[in-house]
Amino acid sequence: MTGEPPPDKPASAPGKHIRLTSHPGQGASGAPPLQWGAADPLARGPVVGSTTNRSQRNVIGSHSGSYGVYRALAVAAGNLVKGHRADLTNTAPTDPVGPHPQWADPQKIVSIDPWGASVQTVFADFLERGYDIRPTIAVTKAHIHLPEIRQAIAFQRLKPDGRILLDDASAAVTKIAVEPVWWLPGVAQRFGVSEADLRRALFEETGGMYPELVTRSDLEVFLPPIGGQTLYVFGDLRHLADPTVTLTARVHDECNGSDVFGSDICTCRPYLTHAIEECIQGAQDGGVGLIAYSRKEGRALGEVTKFLVYNARKRQEGGDRADKYFLRTECVAGVQDMRFQELMPDVLHWLGIRRIHRLVSMSNDKYDAITGSGIEVGERIKIPDALVPADAKVEIEAKIAAGYFTDGAVPTEADLAAVKGRGLE
Ligand SMILES: [Zn+2]
């Protein structure tokens, strides 16, 4: 080895220099301006987050949330041609959503792009002129099969109707995938912090991943590298915006261990499937049902932190107990929760929702966020006691004592100290 770079080393090849976009004015000539909250989509402008043509970009970050890193890996590995443009033929939503008046209120929606599902049509002219505009929302149809729903039919709590619930025990749904698109001034306002402080924290806490956060105050929109949301709608999607149609809804935060694998330390899957049963029943009774599922694993602390907390809970003196439930999380993570329900109602406003008649959730944080954003909530539906796994009593009793909705008695400190979970075996 001579220390000389090989002739094909990328850094020395012409046109392969890294170009930083962190300096104002550089390459901004072709970027469409964004006017967040404008009622007319053309006045609002398309979100251009692709890296195909840097001069057209008008946001910080890139598409697909955390999967953007896999896209980079695919380019690096030579599996994906840099600059590939999506062929959007036949990708338009199966069911139209909006526009709703909430879309034109920059206070109501700050963390998703209300026009993200319909770029194929509303920004057709931009697409024709060569702008690489990607949908950040996709709307499709599916049938979902769940053993709990099959069981509900067997126990005659549900009955197939051939429309909402089919004869093979599957439920017909419209499902919607939503990627985060943050309008930074609005996000900052939602949390009561200055935009400068928000930008600085995002820059520093991602290890300086997005220099434009601090150098490009002219770019107000950020595509954060985080998970998004999936919505499952039972019944006619258009009814969501009609406050006279009974809406049954659950806003659920991801818990892979329980939701998918049936881990019994929490109530996540039983509550989720109970909510789906309520949604199906509600839609069959002439209403509409909605599950809004957010990728905020382990209270948005992530699974590693979550599993560390499980160990800390079960190994502490006296074993796993409800009176120390929140303390153990705080010891490991520094906080009890990072889900920030403040942004969660955006997707409800995107759907045009003004009233949730039956909220299948006991969370006071979710309830406060929804009602605080101007959506009325009627009845609150708690998880039936019979669906709480034995080892999840610690969690549910601690949450009820901390303010979760219950129609029963709130446990005292002595009660909490007596609620014990299983050990590590
Ligand atoms: Zn869980």
Count of structural domains within the chain:
1
Give residue 390 CA to ligand 1 midpoint distance, Å: 14
For 94, which DSSP code?
A: S
Domain span at residue 73? 23-134
Domain-embedded: residue 377: no
Reading across the β-sheet that carries 171-178, which strands appear in turn? 137-144, 171-178, 229-234, 288-294, 247-253, 355-359, 376-380
Q: What is the pLDDT at residue 20?
A: 53
What distance in Å separates the CA atoms of residue 296 and residue 337, rounded to the nearest whole number?
Answer: 10
How far apart, in whole angstroms, are the C-alpha atoms of residue 374 and residue 353? 10
Ligand 1 centre distance from Cα of residue 413 (Å): 23
* Helical (H) or strand (E) element with 377: strand 376-380
* Strand positions, DSSP E, 152-260: 171-178, 182-183, 221-223, 229-234, 247-253
User: pLDDT at position 52, please?
Assistant: 87
Asked if residue 273 belongs to a domain, the reply is: no
Determine the distance separating the centroid of ligand 1 and the alpha carbon of 220, expressed in angstroms. 35
**Ion ligand 1 residue ranges (Cβ < 5 Å):** 255, 258, 266, 268
Exposure string over 120-151, b if 16+ CB within 10 A, otherwise e: bebbeebbeeebbbbbbbbbeeeeeebeebee
Query: What is the dihedral sign for C-alpha 405, 408, 414, 417?
Result: negative
Asked whether residue 95 is domain-assigned, the answer is: yes
CA of 259 relative to ligand 1 center, distance in Å: 7
Cα–ligand 1 centroid distance for 172 (angstroms): 26
Look at residue 198 and tell me if it is in a domain.
no
Position 148 scores a pLDDT of: 97
The catalytic residues are 337, 339
Main-chain phi, psi angles of 196, to 5 degrees:
-65, -45
User: In this structure, is residue 407 part of a structural domain?
Assistant: no
pTM of the shown model? 0.91
Q: What is the pLDDT of residue 83?
A: 87
* 182-209 CB burial, b ≥16 within 10 A, e <16: bbbbbbbbbeeeeeeebbeebbeeeeee
* CA of residue 384 to ligand 1 center, whole Å: 16
Mutual angle of helices 147-154 and 268-284, in 10-degree steps: 60
Query: Ligand 1 center to residue 360 CA distance, Å?
Result: 16
In degrees, to the nearest 5, what angle opens at C-alpha 53 toward C-alphas 49 and 59? 25
> What pLDDT sits at residue 2?
40
Please give the DSSP secondary-structure letter assigned to residue 103: G
Compute, in angstroms, the gap from residue 408 CA to the centroid of ligand 1: 22
CA distance 269 to 126: 43
Closest CA to 125 of 36, 27, 41: 41
Residue 47 lies in a domain: yes
87 lies in some domain: yes
Q: Please state, in angstroms and rounded to a whole number, the distance separating the CA atoms of residues 326 and 399.
A: 9
- The single residue listed with the structure tokens 């006071």 is 364
- 77: in domain: yes
Each residue's pLDDT expressed in tens, for the chain with a length of 425 residues: 344 444 444 443 445 666 555 544 444 468 999 999 999 999 999 999 998 889 999 999 999 999 999 999 999 999 999 989 999 999 999 999 999 999 999 999 999 999 999 999 999 999 999 999 999 999 999 999 999 999 999 999 999 999 999 999 999 999 999 999 999 999 999 999 999 999 999 999 999 999 999 999 999 999 999 999 999 999 999 999 999 999 999 999 999 999 999 999 999 999 999 999 999 999 999 999 999 999 999 999 999 999 999 999 999 998 999 898 888 889 899 988 888 899 999 999 999 999 999 999 999 999 999 999 999 999 999 999 999 999 999 989 999 998 999 988 899 989 998 898 888 88
- How far does the centroid of ligand 1 lie from the alpha carbon of residue 113, in Å? 29
